[in-house]
Amino acid sequence: MKITGVTIIKNAVKNDYPVVEAITSILPMVDEMIVSIDKGNDGTDELIKSIASDKIRIVYSTWDMALKQGGRVYAIETDKAITHVSADTDWIFYIQADEVIHEKYHPVITAAAEKYATNKKVQGLLFKYLHFYATYDYVGDSRKWYNYEIRMIKNDRRITSYKDAQGFRMGDKKLDVVLIDAEVYHYGWVKEPHKMLQKQKNTDQYYLKKADENHMAIKSSEVYDFEKNYDSLRKFTGSHPSVMLQRIKRKNWQIELDISKKKFSLKQKLLFWFEKKTGKRLFDFKNYRRVKG
C-alpha cells in the first residue's frame, strides 16, 4: 500500500502558518509528500526547503486570483497538486497548512488505510476535528465549527476538491467514507492578536469579489477581538502533537477567555444542548456519505 501526502501553500511566513508542523506530522505515514508552493516573496519556498526529508517533492504553481471568489482558488490548487500524485498511489492524504495530526493517531490511520485500501465501497476516510481558538488552551465546541471532514481519499482522478477545498466529491456526488477514530488539530485561529487580524484580512481576499485595499490595511495598534468572535468554548486538557511543542513554547501572548459565557440565540441554545446530550448534531450539512465499509 502506498500513501502520498499533499498540501498547498502560499504566504506561509507572512500569515504564520504552521505548515512545517503540518507536513512533518504526516511524514511518518506517507511514502511521498507533494508540497505545491506559490513562491510569493515572503520566504515560503525557503521555509519548505528547510524540512529535512527525502520524502518531500516540491512543485510550483501560481495561484490565479481571478478565481478567488468564494475561495475557489484553494480547490483549484488542491486539484492541481493532486495531478502530481503517481499512479501507483493507493491513498492521498490531504493536509492543509494549519492542520496537524497527533502522533498518537498514526497507528489508527495507517490501519484504516490498510483495511480499506482494496474496498471499492470506501472512497475516503473521515476525520474528527478539534478547532483551537485564540491560544492553545481553548477549543471551539459549538455548531460554528465543522466536526468532521474528509482528509484521505482514494487515488481516483474522478475525485476533485469541493468549493473552497472544504472536502471532496466525485462530480456532484458525495463520497462514500468511513469515519475513523482520529482527529485533525486545526490551529488556524491561534495567533498573536495583531497577526490574527492581518491573517484574517489576507484570507478575505480569497473570498471577496474584489479586494478592497482599505479593508486589507490595518494599523499597528489594531488587533483581532477574540472575546467578541466566539459563541462557545471549552478548555483543552489533552496533549498537543509533539511537532507543535516548540511553536507552543514560543507563544508570546496571553488571552484569558470566559468559557462559562455562551452566546447563543434560543434556537442555537436548544441545538447545542441536544448535541451535548446525545452526541448528534441536528440539521448539519454533511459533505459526505458515511458507510460501514
Q: Residue 114: its pLDDT value, please?
A: 98
CA-nearest of 101, 49, 266, 81 to 157 is 81
Residue 209 confidence class, pLDDT cut points 50, 70, 90: low
Q: Return phi, psi of residue 57, to 5°.
A: -125, 115
Task: Give the contacts of 249 (CB within 8 A, at least 6 positions apart).
Answer: none
Predicted confidence (pLDDT) at residue 12 exceeds the cutoff of 60: yes
User: Is the pLDDT higher at 116 or at 40?
Assistant: 116
Predicted confidence (pLDDT) at residue 79 exceeds the cutoff of 90: yes
Instruction: Kindly state the average pLDDT of the residues 15-23.
Output: 97
Predicted confidence (pLDDT) at residue 213 exceeds the cutoff of 60: no
Please state, for a pLDDT cut of 90, what percent of the chain lies above it: 86
Residue 210 confidence class, pLDDT cut points 50, 70, 90: low
Predicted confidence (pLDDT) at residue 216 exceeds the cutoff of 80: no
Predicted confidence (pLDDT) at residue 214 exceeds the cutoff of 70: no
Cross-strand partners of 129: 184
Residue 77 confidence class, pLDDT cut points 50, 70, 90: very high
Are 67 and 38 a contacting pair, CB within 8 Å? no
Q: Residue 202: its pLDDT value, please?
A: 84
Q: Residue 232: its pLDDT value, please?
A: 97
CA-nearest of 84, 290, 96 to 185 is 96
Average pLDDT of the chain is: 93
Are 157 and 84 a contacting pair, CB within 8 Å? no
Predicted confidence (pLDDT) at residue 69 exceeds the cutoff of 80: no
HSE of 76, CA atoms in CB hemisphere, 13 A: 15
Q: Is 101 helix (H, G, I), strand (E, B) or coil?
A: strand
Residue 215 confidence class, pLDDT cut points 50, 70, 90: low
Predicted confidence (pLDDT) at residue 65 exceeds the cutoff of 70: yes
Residue 41 confidence class, pLDDT cut points 50, 70, 90: confident
Structure confidence by residue, pLDDT tens digits, 143-181: 999 999 999 999 999 999 999 998 999 999 999 999 999
| Contacts made by residues 19-22, CB under 8 angstroms, sequence distance 24+ | 19/47, 19/48, 19/97, 19/98, 20/47, 20/48, 20/50, 20/51, 21/100, 21/241, 21/243, 21/244, 21/247, 22/95, 22/96, 22/97, 22/98, 22/99, 22/100
Instruction: Kindly state the average pLDDT of the residues 7-35.
Output: 97
**What beta strand segments (E) does 219-260 contain?**
233-235
Q: Residue 206: its pLDDT value, please?
A: 77
Q: What angle do CA 190, 110, 164 make, to 5 degrees?
A: 45
Residue 203 confidence class, pLDDT cut points 50, 70, 90: confident
